[in-house]
Chains A and B, each alone.
Chain A
Amino acid sequence: MKNINRIKKQVKNKLVGALLIVACITTIACDPTIDSLAFDLPDANSQEDLTPPAAAFTASVTADYLTYTFANESTSATTYAWDFGDGNSSTSVDGLNTYPDEGTYTVTLTASDALGAVNTYTAEVVVEEPEAPPVLDPTLVNADFVKLPKSSGSDCACAAWINKSIGDQGESSSGNGSDVLKFDNNEPDAIYQEFEVVPNANYLITVVSSFKSLESGGLYPSELELRILAGTGYTDGYTPVYYTDTVDFPQGNSDSGFWGYTSIAQVEDEANNLLIRVEDNPSDTSYLSYQYSFNSGANTSVALFMRGLGGPATGGAGGDFGYNSGDEEIRTDSIVITALD
């Protein structure tokens, strides 16, 4: 019994001792003021931050030109600070900001990771109200049909308007107080010119023409046809060149060079036509204004084509193109094309 008590006492003492030591250690261990046990980052021998943050973003404008969204493309970062350059800031992942006015703003993204490593990325945002590009009036060369030099041959009111692959050249004449272009009777006279347009824009064409008096009892009254031919219908590989000087214009043959339309079949392919209009002889010999409008569709370039019709397909006085003007001469004084948009 004595022995047991002694053993009990001894065990109790030792337990109390052990408890004291544990208590001491616990207290000391949790006290950060003890230098030797302090958190030892980022001193010597600590782990290096192998994946420091890299800040990056892309700005995109929204439907409202003042509002931009910023796509955060940072890597290895956990927190972000945006400075949008107009005094606004944000700490969300992606940025969204509406600027007060037009101007150039410097946007800074600061990306940091949990170890406190920081990286910044800066980009400028130019806030500008988008302007719809104005649709300009197309440029036609020699639109008043003045006698001007051609690449070969004598001066002609038809200068800049010749495409011999699809018709004979028009002829010089006068009328309405100036030079005019003439579509001879019973000939395949035609004019052709390519010009630049804005896609999907509306244009107004004004043509001033005069028909000779209707032949009484004539079998073949003349008609004047106007077509707007799509640039998408140009021969494969053809790139339009817009000449400004009439002497530079090819004439649609191998000597001077070909245009985008090289055959009547190509001209008459319905898919290539943006506009086809045919005027009958009005039985009025004065110069009348004819107006048409067209939409340029999916074209940056189109061609204007006019010819006299009404005669027999073959047997005319000119070349053989499968069409001829009718019994009366037609004269055209001017063509004006303006943008409607």
Chain B
Amino acid sequence: MKFVKYIAVLFIGVLASSCSDFLDPKPNSASTSNNYYTTLAELESALIGAYDAIQGDGSYDRDENHGVQYEFYITEMRSGNSSTKIADADDFSDSGQFESFSVLATNGIVANYYDSFYQVIFRANVVLENLGNVSEDTSAIEAEAKFIRAYAYFNLVRLFGDIPLVDHVLTASETDTQFIRVDKNLVYDLIISDLETAKDGLDNTYKTRASKAAAQGLLAKAYLSIENPEYLKAQILCESIINSQEFDLVNFYDVFYSELNDEIIFAIGYQTIDDSQNFSAQWMNAVGRSSGLNYATYDLVGDLDLYGGDRTQFTYRQDPIHLTSVRYQCAKYFPDGDDGGDTGEFTGNPELAGNDWIVLRYADILLLYAEAIMAGGQETNNAAALNAFQLVRNRAGLTDVVTNLTKEELLLERRVELAFENHRLFDLVRFGEAETTLSAYSELNGFGYTTSDLLLPMPQNEVNLSNGLMSQNPGY
């Protein structure tokens, strides 16, 4: 009987204590998604995470997202500007498909970029979703997160066309949203409204984070890229960047090797060793895993030699190690500025390079400004447009006075000014010249370009997972 009493007391004791916090502990050594994001500092760390997703992983691990480090494959190497060093069978597995316009839906690089940028969007959405949990003024954080989201969508919509539009953190039941492709005009609507918010909520404090000028510049480009371009709005945006007088053209070599210089409006920052990238190494001769990537095509070298002026010497060089044929390498992103000399021996580790990736720079804005004023016409003699164009030419030592500017000349100037900076493909499409230029280039080189190659395939993996919800682009 005595034991029964003890048992009863113990039982009641357990009952009483079972509802206390003791059995429902909040971890105090770690943060959870429910109790995180309650201060500005925590939101900001989530923002940094989104930038981290853009940076991507600097390794060769195919399971990691490589973010913007893989962008050259799907833009520059698909534009007639660059190719693999030698189109060998190994490279043709994935990276060699781009230069010949024979990309397969199963291409791992395409899938990696797609994953990376939806990861960026997810991380930006997490920030936006948690704005309400912070009592302080979050407008600057909101502006920055929206800039990042718009940047990611702008890249994706230009590469894939219609894409899934995810503007919040998806719950487990929203499986459709991640696969159903929506009209690209709706994607552009979100890009434009995000960038409008961003430009009003930001200042020009940073160059490797979102800024007012970066939002203005990206928005101007978006306005020029939509189906019915808003030339006037783009012109006004470029004008306000120019009139801010916070940016300037610098010595062409310094644009790339003196980081955060006056010309840079927005760059993805990297640090040697600690927070590094390996695309610089991949573009050298057999330094990375490949024998050499993003080598200049003879077509690009031809234009640079004729029209590049002082820029040419800082844009490409002949590969000093490759002796069986004459091949040209990109000179804008030598790993930490070390070109490896004639022997290809680098002082540091070229695979842990710290070169920032430039997204927007002032010369791009000046040329966009002329493009906006041209407003879809074939030529202009508008003084403001000519003046902006002349500034870019003068820096390259091409000081002959320009009195009339044609669309063709502007497109060519963009090619030689911005070679290897992943603009060419988008420029060709925006100028309506992709079809004629790329089919002529393809024919000359025996490649199989057709119009459907202007859009990448939706990654086959996504199509398969979608259970029939995701359609494939034509031609794949």
Contact = CB atoms under 8 A, between A and B. Distances in A.
Contact of B384 (A62, A72, A232, A295): A295
B450 A298 contact: no
A93 interface: yes
Interface string A93-112: 11010000000000000000
Contacts of A37: none
Contacts of A93: 450-451
A199 B450 contact: no
A71 B452 contact: yes
A298 B235 contact: yes
Contacts of B382: 200, 295
A194 B231 CA distance: 22
Nearest to A73: B474
Contacts of A200: 235, 373, 375, 380, 382, 384-385
A297 B435 contact: no
B377 A60 contact: no
A41 interface: no
A132 B377 contact: yes
A165 to B, nearest CB: 24
A178 interface: no
Q: Which among A62, A96, A200, A271 has the greatest number of chain B C-beta atoms within 10 A?
A: A200
A209 interface: no
Interface string A45-71: 000000000001000101100000101
A317 B380 CA distance: 49
A94 B450 contact: yes
B377 A199 contact: no
Nearest to A93: B450
A300 interface: yes
A72 B474 CA distance: 9
B236 interface: yes
B383 A199 contact: no
A232 B240 CA distance: 11
The size bracket of the interface on A is 20 to 34
A151 to B, nearest CB: 31
The size bracket of the interface on B is 20 to 34
A78 to B, nearest CB: 12
B378 A63 contact: yes
Given A132-B377, A200-B375, A232-B236, A71 B243 contact: no
B447 to A, nearest CB: 13
B454 to A, nearest CB: 8
Given A63-B407, A69-B435, A200-B373, A75 B474 contact: yes
Given A232-B236, A271-B243, A94 B439 contact: yes
Contacts of B372: 298
Contacts of B243: 271
A71 B235 CA distance: 30
B474 A199 contact: no
B169 interface: no
Contact of A199 (B375, B432, B451): B375
A71 to B, nearest CB: 4
Contacts of A73: 451-452, 474
A132 B373 CA distance: 14
Interface in B360-374: 372-373
Contacts of A71: 435, 451-452, 454
B466 to A, nearest CB: 17
Interface string A295-325: 1011010000000000000000000000000
Contacts of B407: 63
Nearest to B381: A341
Nearest to B243: A271
Interface of B: 231-232, 235-236, 239, 243, 372-373, 375, 377-378, 380, 382-385, 407-408, 432-433, 435-436, 439, 450-452, 454, 474-475
Interface of A: 56, 60, 62-63, 69, 71-75, 93-94, 96, 132, 199-200, 232, 271, 295, 297-298, 300
10 contacts: A62-B432, A63-B378, A71-B451, A71-B454, A72-B452, A73-B451, A93-B450, A200-B384, A271-B243, A295-B384
Given A56-B474, A132-B377, A199-B232, 6 more contacts: A63-B378, A69-B435, A71-B454, A73-B452, A93-B451, A297-B384
